[in-house]
Homo-oligomer: A and B are copies of this chain.
Amino acid sequence: MTTEKREVHAKKGLEIECKGWEQEAVLRMLYNNLDPEVAEKPEELVVYGGIGKAARNWEAFDSIVSTLQRLENNETMLIQSGKPVAVFKTHEAAPRVLLSNSVLVPKWANWEHFHELDQQGLMMYGQMTAGSWIYIGTQGILQGTYETFASLAEKHFDKSLQGTITLTAGLGGMGGAQPLAVTMNGGVVIAVEVDPSRIEKRLQTKYLDKMTTSIDEALAWAVEAKQQGEALSIGLLGNAAEVHEDILSRNVNIDIVTDQTSAHDPLNGYIPVGYSLNESNQLRNQDPSTYVTLSSSSMARHVTAMLQFQKNGAIVFDYGNNIRQVAKDEGIEQAFDFPGFVPAYIRPLFCEGKGPFRWAALSGDPEDIYQTDRLIKELFPKNEPLIRWIDMAQKKVSFQGLPSRICWLGYGERVKMGLAINELVKNGELKAPIVIGRDHLDCGSVASPNRETESMKDGSDAVGDWAVLNALINTAAGGSWISFHHGGGVGMGYSLHAGMVAVADGTDLAKERLQRVLTTDPGMGIARHADAGYDKAKEIAKQKNIDIPMLD
């Protein structure tokens, strides 16, 4: 294996090096995933999410590239965990690439065995959009967080967070999207963060409006903005376990409480009460077991405060950081009295086949994305949170690599948008084809009992058949590249999920394929949730004439 450090950049423009735009699309999205603007450690082929990679090693990368350059319009390349292993003759409506990432026979499906194979050069961790070549940078997490708060607003507050105060903690890699996601929904947010440098960074990138070290000041600002109906985000320096107790004692009305400290990792992700950053670093090195004891008991206080906010009438939810489990293990019996974010806010969307929909402009020209932004507002003029998201994203999100956009669309909407994009390409209104895909926080392609399929109504959380069927039907329907993965998001052993990308190149064949695959993909979400017994999904299935043989 080469240890050579390489740098590659997103390819743009109207010249293609492959035998068709479909293969070129694959090539450009692979390069894009590894563009230094997009990827976290591109020199190691790591895109995001720990060690989520785009190719097994640089030799494999080169071979994928040269294979794509020679791949015919009726051939299909197979990728086994980041390495090209075969090319077969298929047909024009079949996918050009099929991928399987880090799938292990269950008994061996753990990090230990994975690392063994990885070190021998036999495997790669594909995460979700890293190994399926449709990562688009931080816009994804911002939009997901926005969508969660929008759904919460819809459920509890008449579609906007205007006039509400959200209290949260953690302004790290993902948590840093919270303040902007709340203000985009019109609300006020106080985000408690123990590390001043994290607060600074969010101020610089304009994800956060103001900061203070005073609880009183933060509360005063928040109450003022709430009364004025203004959106405002406030970074408050402090330890959440302590600050939350102080806020409780001050009797200010808090409407929403959640948390994105890295509670899932008690040794490295959570700072115990009473320790500065430096002190906690020292303690972590010198006495890790005391560290974990202290941080766990701080988390118990943290969750106890969250439960008290809930008793006081606030909407409280867990944002997938496992803090409830730690508190429960510390003896807080009611820790699971507040729900996880998927069952609370995302599942109702899944029941409508609503889920992530992202696209990238292969031309590399931002104007192509602005055109599609106009298109989406034209097609869905009554979808307020969507319009608000597009307007805000234009202002706040800077493109990384190939210009791209993400939003959430339901069954019927995805195919409508996809076909309209294909028309724009056909008519020459866009400079080059558009790639359409999604991530895996999705309705019908994921089995992940600690997140996407937590607490399914019928107890089918761990049933993986749905993810397999999603990959198979999208392959049959004619996606351009289809992937199947193990372990994305929650790690080895904990998830099975499938990816789908389709290319809108303006041809009639693309039209047919988009028509089919943008129907099957969200359709699987409705079928999966109808089967699990969700009334909403059954209703939508009937309403949209989705063919589910045993639907009662």
Contacts and interface: CB of A to CB of B under 8 A. Distances in A.
Nearest to A532: B122
Interface in A436-452: 447-449
Contacts of A1: none
Copies in the complex: 2
Contact of A63 (B458, B524, B549): B549
A78 interface: yes
Interface stretch (A179-187, A268-276, A366-374, A470-478): A470-478
A448 B105 contact: yes
Nearest to A91: B93
A543 to B, nearest CB: 16
Nearest to A109: B106
Interface stretch (A148-156, A224-232, A341-349, A461-469): A461-469
What is the interface of chain A mostly: helix, strand, loop, or mixed? mixed
Contacts of A520: 88, 90
Contact of A469 (B59, B78, B546): B78
B494 A86 contact: no
A463 B108 CA distance: 9
A449 B108 contact: yes
A475 B468 CA distance: 12
Contacts of A108: 449, 461-462
A178 interface: no
Chain A interface extent, by class: 35 or more
A281 interface: no
A60 interface: yes
Contacts of A516: 88-91
A386 interface: no
A98 interface: yes
Nearest to A89: B516
A468 B100 contact: yes
Contact of A550 (B83, B449, B466): B83
A245 interface: no
Given A80-B466, A527-B85, A550-B83, A494 B120 contact: no
